[in-house]
Structure 1
Amino acid sequence: MSSRSTGTATKARRAQLAENLRATRADIAAACEAAGRDPSGVELVVVSKTHPAADVCALAELGVRGFGENRDQEAAAKAAEVAASGTEVRWHFVGRLQRNKCRSVVSYASMVESVDRSSLVTALDAEARSQRDSPLDVLMQLSVDSDTARGGVAEADDEALAAQILACQGLRLRGVMAVAPLGWEPGRAFEAVARRAAKIQALAPNANIVSAGMSADYAEAISFGATEIRLGSKLLGRRDDLRYAFETK
């Protein structure tokens, strides 16, 4: 991150984030009401990729606890900076994860949401057993359109991957994650996610998290039962628009 990204958020930036969070929570509540759901059943994870640690700390002061990152190099440095400030948050790793990054990711992540293949399960399990006193929470990333090259497990392999995770001492299967494919109607995508999530929960009753929905389609995800939504730009704006939102110590 550039030197402009270090330090603390200005008073104006903190006020902007507070207003964005207020509006976002109101929108989530409205989406839940339309779906006949209690807002307390939907967790907000703020995707903080490309945004500085100062934003994370400011939002944590406002009560946000979950933050998502998709690149280990950025996430590891940001997690260290946030920890050094004394701020406690939960890091969700949501990007495509290579096995050689597992050691680093396990050192700071509370949850890995992008588990989609057997070799990754094996690597994460080994690192979790080595580094942690308790199992690492993981979600199976589902490929909605079966194009696994973009990440996610194909539906035909759901049960086998779930069984492998359940057999691991270092991992705890908590549910599924998915991204609606480009060109798909969100409702069609999230209906498929809900159907597959129910099958996996039948195998593992505690795997009840459905992480689905981003800034453009979170309302549709909520209507199909998402219990976690991952929002970035709706709260944080575009990284290029920050300009002088931070002041150095």
Structure 2
Amino acid sequence: MSARKAELAENLARVEERIESACVAAGRKREDVTLVVVTKTYPASDVRLLAELGVRHVAENRDQDAAPKAAACADAELKWHFVGQLQTNKARSVAGYADFVHSVDRPKLVTALSAAAVRNGRELGCLVQVAFDVESGDVGARGGAAPDAVSALADAVAAAEGLRLEGVMTVAPLTGPYAGSPGQAFARLREISTRLRAAHPAANMVSAGMSSDLEEAVQAGATHVRVGSAVLGDRPRLG
């Protein structure tokens, strides 16, 4: 085993222990939480090593990095999650490789993704990104729709050809009433998810939590945690 593969295996085992412990503390089954490894800034060779180590879900936040990486790893039987802010002009590219888009936050993006999915002959799983740092009707600094916009946006996704409404996502806010309290933000996301499922029962994904706060996310009911640095190491600074 190469040194890098051994390092990744050790890190994965450590993250797995954290998720397992969080599930025990929350009274949940381990299999109810999916680990999505965020591979941004790391090479396709690392993605391949992760696949060899049993990882099945990987995420990227920039199309210009994700598209070539997904192509290079097309035979690795991975599910690709797009988790970053998405411009409408990138929708066509993302629809070519992503299995899930976590960052749907405005009607124009729904329209663009729908057209792109149909053009690519694919069905995209979509999550509505919720921002807890914005006023009504606005979009957050890191993307996301205001909580009061979620219902209408979810209805639009559910009605769009080529798209499948999967659930909701959030990033722990840096400002606003939940700044410094990720657990409270994740609990609020769970409440929004519960209301959403009354209208869309199959939309049961709750994507929340990263390397620093996955325990709070699991406690609040997250079904998917997005972990990067705890698996791959501290990221190099981008110039």
So what's the TM-score if we normalise by structure 1? 0.89
Cα distance between partner residues in 1 of 2:180 and 2:146: 17
One-letter amino acid of the structure 2 residue matched with residue 137 of structure 1: G
Q: Which residue of 2 aligns with 1:82?
A: 73
* Correspondences of 1:38-77 after superposition (within 5 Å): 38-77=29-68
Say whether 1:139 aligns with 2:130: no
Cα distance between partner residues in 2 of 1:60 and 1:189: 31
Question: What is the CA deviation profile of residues 149-171 of structure 1, one whole-angstrom value per residue up to 9, with x for unaligned ones?
Answer: 32111111111111111111210
Q: How far did 1:124 drift?
A: 0.3
- 5+ residue gaps, structure 1: 1-9, 242-249
Larger Rg computed on CA atoms: 1
- Which has the bigger relative contact order, CA under 8 A and spacing at least 6? 1
Indicate conservation of the 8 Å contact 1:141/1:176, yes or no: yes
Q: Which deviates more from structure 2 when the two are superposed, residues 18-27 or residues 103-112?
A: 18-27
Q: Which residue of 2 aligns with 1:21?
A: 12
* Correspondences of 1:114-193 after superposition (within 5 Å): 114-133=103-122, 135-146=123-134, 148-150=139-141, 151-182=143-174, 183-193=179-189
Cα distance between partner residues in 2 of 1:29 and 1:97: 32
Say whether 1:233 aligns with 2:229: yes
* Change in 2 beyond 3 A, CA 1:157/1:239: closer
2:91 counterpart (95, 98, 102): 102
* Correspondences of 1:187-206 after superposition (within 5 Å): 187-206=183-202
One-letter amino acid of the structure 1 residue matched with residue 97 of structure 2: Y
* Change in 2 beyond 3 A, CA 1:146/1:88: same
Cα distance between partner residues in 1 of 2:140 and 2:2: 43
1:102 partner SS: helix
Aligned residues with identical type, % of pairs: 52
Q: How far did 1:70 drift?
A: 0.4
Q: Which runs of 4+ in 1 moved over 3 A?
A: none
One-letter amino acid of the structure 2 residue matched with residue 145 of structure 1: D
Cα distance between partner residues in 1 of 2:236 and 2:183: 31
1:15 partner SS: helix
Indicate conservation of the 8 Å contact 2:99/2:125, yes or no: yes
Q: How far did 1:79 drift?
A: 0.9
Q: How far did 1:184 drift?
A: 3.0
- 5+ residue gaps, structure 2: none
Indicate conservation of the 8 Å contact 1:144/1:193, yes or no: no
Cα distance between partner residues in 1 of 2:150 and 2:3: 46
1:35 counterpart (26, 36, 58): 26
